[in-house]
Amino acid sequence: MGWDANDVARLKELWTAGHSAGQIATRLGLSRNAVSAKLKRMGQKRGHKPPTANPRIVSVPKRKVAPLAACARPADKVVSRRKPVATKPAPAQPKEFTKRQLYAMLVDAVKNTGSR
């Protein structure tokens, strides 16, 4: 199928009104690919908004900074109302031995397990 002057004029009108290629295709009774190809041949890129579509730019609200007085709370103050749990002391670390002491303990163990 060829594009006649009425179809091209309607395509330009709908494109500048902000319609997508799929919406234009359903109105003209064509496929979306045919409309996209014609738009490309006319100098419009597929997937881009028409030049008249002006996006509305919305600024993101800035985060409010917490006042310094709110951050300067004492850290050691207990806020919880629960009873404090008694903590157990950490178990003592085992004594580290030197290589010579380990060999001496091994010799003693071998002597004690020897035949009687």
- Is the distance from CB of 50 to CB of 16 less than 8 angstroms? yes
Q: Which fold has domain 1-53?
A: Arc Repressor Mutant, subunit A (1.10.10)
Residue 78 has what pLDDT?
Answer: 58
Give the pLDDT score at 70.
57
pLDDT tens series, the chain, 116 aa: 678 888 899 998 888 888 888 889 998 888 989 988 898 888 876 555 555 566 677 787 887 776 665 556 555 665 666 666 677 777 777 778 888 999 999 999 988 887 55
> What does the domain layout of the chain look like in residue ranges?
1-53
pLDDT at 104: 92
Q: What is the pLDDT of residue 113?
A: 84
**Can you give the pLDDT at residue 17?**
84
Residue 73 is predicted with a pLDDT of: 59
Q: What is the 3-state secondary structure (H, E, C) of the chain?
A: CCCCHHHHHHHHHHHHCCCCHHHHHHHHCCCHHHHHHHHHHCCCCCCCCCCCCCCCCCCCCCCCCCCHHHHCCCCCCCCCCCCCCCCCCCCCCCCCCCHHHHHHHHHHHHHHCCCC
